[in-house]
Amino acid sequence: MSSGLRNYQFTMNKIIAVLPLLAFLASSVHATPPKPSQPAVAIKNGTIRGLHSDVWGQDYFLGIPYAQSATGNNRFALAKPIASKWSGELVAQAYGDRCLGLDHPFPGLPESEDCLNLNVIRPIGYSNTKLPVLVWIHGGGFTSSGSSNPPYNMTFMVDQSVKSGNPIIAVSFNYRLTAWGMLASQVMTNAGITNIGIKDQRLALHWVQENIAAFGGDPKKVTIAGDSAGGVSVGIHTLAYGGRDDKLFRAAIMDSGPALYIGKYGNITTLETMYTALVEAVGCTSAADSLVCLRQVPTDAMWSAIKAVNAVFPTQWQYHIDGDIIRERSSVSLKRGRFVKVPILVGSTSDEGTYGLKIDINTTEELVGFMKFATTSTLSDEAVKAILKAYPDDPVVGIPGGSPERFPPPYGLQYKRLAAIATDYFLVAGRRLTARAWAERGATAYSWRFNTIPAGVPRELGSTHVADQAFVFANFLGVGYDTNYYDVEPASRKANYIKTGLLMSRAIMSFVHDLTPNNHGMKGYPKWPKYDDNEPKNFVFEGNTTSYVEPDNFRKAGINIFIHRAQEFLH
């Protein structure tokens, strides 16, 4: 396996969707913030003391534990709710540690095993109203990222909700990553311990149901949302337990991570091999109970061993079909209607598959070899021929669209062709199938395509994976980015970018508040139609001209291959 192919697989499975909040009133935003007051709320576990900002008109409650510490005997175990009161007040005025992860963005932020915490941001002035709630699940390929990462500041999102007349409360949380959250084996299955990280998320959603009213939120009006692996996670929760509705949310938003997973499930045989390798690496082979032994290994030694195993099995720490929370392939669940039929927003960018695609592939033969590797499946000759026919060797119809037709090295001659295939395979087919499945069952779905290239993103990448996040979160200040995504020229183009960010963020706030994206209050834009399988349409967020509605039929022949052959591609 070439290093280029290995790196691409790692990149596409990792797909970092750095999320939510800026450190409270960071100096990059306000050099001399006012001294905050300290709002308090009372829940069953005790009183929580937060921070207040007059500048933003918001209260912040940060780093609240939603489960017992995931250390000691709680390592490699399902998260346990906190069933007792804490002593005194809980001071929730700083973000909690992120969960340990591989190649974390913003490496200076604290991380540890004791990471099951969440954040609540609420606007002031609504004490007599129960506000709708947005719960954001961060991405990062289930291997990295965390709710304290600065680029996706939910402060800005809450601010836009108020300004658009659709006030909400925002919640974000951490969940266990890599082996800490995805370790699997027969030993663990026998103990009922499967898909730990996904079940961390589920417990956080239960916490919201039990406690958000104390913060002024309405537990009956919760929308779960996420991007990349966070979007995939949202999809999992709509399909969880065979589509059982536990009343944890009334709506869902999947951004660049639809209910049809972008890649393979964790292979249980490989996961068992990785478990054995980890047991051997930390000297637990001869233990009477390997799981008990793993829990006794010091954190640093365990983390080193996990990294060593990951070096041999890159990107393999993934969720898997366990017969419990994940009962079957998502393509089967969607086909059979086994999902919670709440209203959804589901979207993708125009050039999803360009992310990390610096691969020197110049011939059709090399392209076929890559496809068989990247799809982690045994493609039939018939499927290969169909794909090659649907995606011809013509850069004019490849992506990113427009000039130049060919990019210089390290982009190979087949780059645009490959990018189109990767975009549709990994994300666009799943986005289309998810919207279609909802519409076919009479459930409400709205679909979008983001078609804007942010400042600082190379032309070769186009509107690549997670290119829309600063727009979703109305991050006009560019917090957390080397280049502010809105800093384009000329000034008229920048103004259009800002309008696009306002529209996108406010449409999402409208959906959280009213279950429709059309109450955003901005004039001059077409109505965003519900997805109709007979006449499917996307709302296109276009920063260069103006946003519009399009038929969702581009690259229909190629995308239909991935939809109709979902089982062959291990979805």
Alpha-carbon span 510 to 535, nearest angstrom: 24
Residue 448: φ, ψ to 5°: -135, 160
Is 220 among the domain residues?
A: yes
Helix, strand or coil, per DSSP, at residue 137: strand
Alpha-carbon span 415 to 484, nearest angstrom: 27
For position 264, what pLDDT does the model report? 59
Cβ-proximal residues to 498 (8 Å cutoff; 6+ apart), any chain:
476, 486
Alpha-carbon span 106 to 480, nearest angstrom: 9
Convert the pLDDT of each residue in 334-389 to its tens digit. Answer: 999 999 999 999 999 999 999 888 788 999 999 998 888 777 666 788 889 999 99
For position 401, what pLDDT does the model report? 84
Do 121 and 181 fall into the same domain?
A: yes
Tokens 């982690």 belong to: 376
For position 517, what pLDDT does the model report? 99
Is 571 among the domain residues?
A: no
Is 181 among the domain residues?
A: yes
Alpha-carbon span 392 to 415, nearest angstrom: 12
Do 196 and 287 fall into the same domain?
A: no
pLDDT at 487 over 60: yes
Tokens 């589920």 belong to: 202
Is 192 among the domain residues?
A: yes
Is 256 among the domain residues?
A: yes
Do 300 and 332 fall into the same domain?
A: no
Asked if 337 and 384 touch (Cβ cutoff 8 Å), the reply is: no
Do 281 and 423 fall into the same domain?
A: no
Total Cβ atoms within 10 A of residue 433: 25
Cβ-proximal residues to 424 (8 Å cutoff; 6+ apart), any chain:
353, 555, 558, 559, 562
Asked if 367 and 384 touch (Cβ cutoff 8 Å), the reply is: no
Do 292 and 158 fall into the same domain?
A: no
Alpha-carbon span 568 to 360, nearest angstrom: 26
Is 350 among the domain residues?
A: no
Convert the pLDDT of each residue in 102-146 to its tens digit. Answer: 988 898 899 999 999 999 999 999 999 999 999 999 999 999 999
DSSP string across 346-391? EEEETTGGGTT------SHHHHHHHHHHHTTS---HHHHHHHHHHS
Strand partners, 550: 538
For the chain, what's the residue count? 571
Alpha-carbon span 341 to 353, nearest angstrom: 29
Tokens 């104390």 belong to: 214
Do 333 and 481 fall into the same domain?
A: no
Q: Which residues are catalytic?
A: 228, 352
pLDDT at 253 over 90: yes
Q: How confident is the model at residue 25 (pLDDT cuts 50, 70, 90)?
A: very low
Q: What is the mean pLDDT of the chain?
A: 90
Burial of 142 (0-12, 13-18, 19+ CB in 10 A): buried
Convert the pLDDT of each residue in 384-418 to its tens digit. Answer: 999 999 999 998 889 998 777 888 888 999 999 99
Do 220 and 295 fall into the same domain?
A: no
Is 570 among the domain residues?
A: no
pTM for the model? 0.93
Alpha-carbon span 104 to 558, nearest angstrom: 35
pLDDT at 34 over 60: no
Do 232 and 273 fall into the same domain?
A: no
Do 479 and 508 fall into the same domain?
A: yes
Convert the pLDDT of each residue in 513-556 to its tens digit. Answer: 999 999 999 999 999 999 999 999 999 999 999 999 999 999 99
Rg of the chain in Å (alpha carbons): 23
Tokens 């086994």 belong to: 338
Q: How confident is the model at residue 568 (pLDDT cuts 50, 70, 90)?
A: low
Which residue blocks in 142-251 are alpha helix, DSSP H? Answer: 154-163, 178-182, 186-190, 196-211, 229-243
Is 325 among the domain residues?
A: yes
For position 569, what pLDDT does the model report? 65
Do 366 and 440 fall into the same domain?
A: yes
Expressed as residue numbers, the domain containing 68 is 3-267+320-345
For position 226, what pLDDT does the model report? 97
Alpha-carbon span 315 to 54, nearest angstrom: 44
Q: Who has greater pLDDT, 523 or 27?
A: 523
CATH code of the domain in which 254 resides: 3.40.50.1820
Closest CA to 181 of 28, 333, 74: 74
Tokens 């002035």 belong to: 125
The two structure tokens encoding residue 544: 């260069």
Helix, strand or coil, per DSSP, at residue 477: coil
Do 191 and 337 fall into the same domain?
A: yes
Closest CA to 22 of 470, 503, 498: 470
Averaged over 220-224, what is the pLDDT? 99
Asked if 400 and 417 touch (Cβ cutoff 8 Å), the reply is: no
pLDDT at 4 over 60: no
Cβ-proximal residues to 549 (8 Å cutoff; 6+ apart), any chain:
526, 527, 528, 529, 537, 538, 539, 540
Burial of 311 (0-12, 13-18, 19+ CB in 10 A): exposed
Do 438 and 527 fall into the same domain?
A: yes
For position 15, what pLDDT does the model report? 31
Number of domains in the chain: 3
Cβ-proximal residues to 311 (8 Å cutoff; 6+ apart), any chain:
none
Alpha-carbon span 96 to 115, nearest angstrom: 7
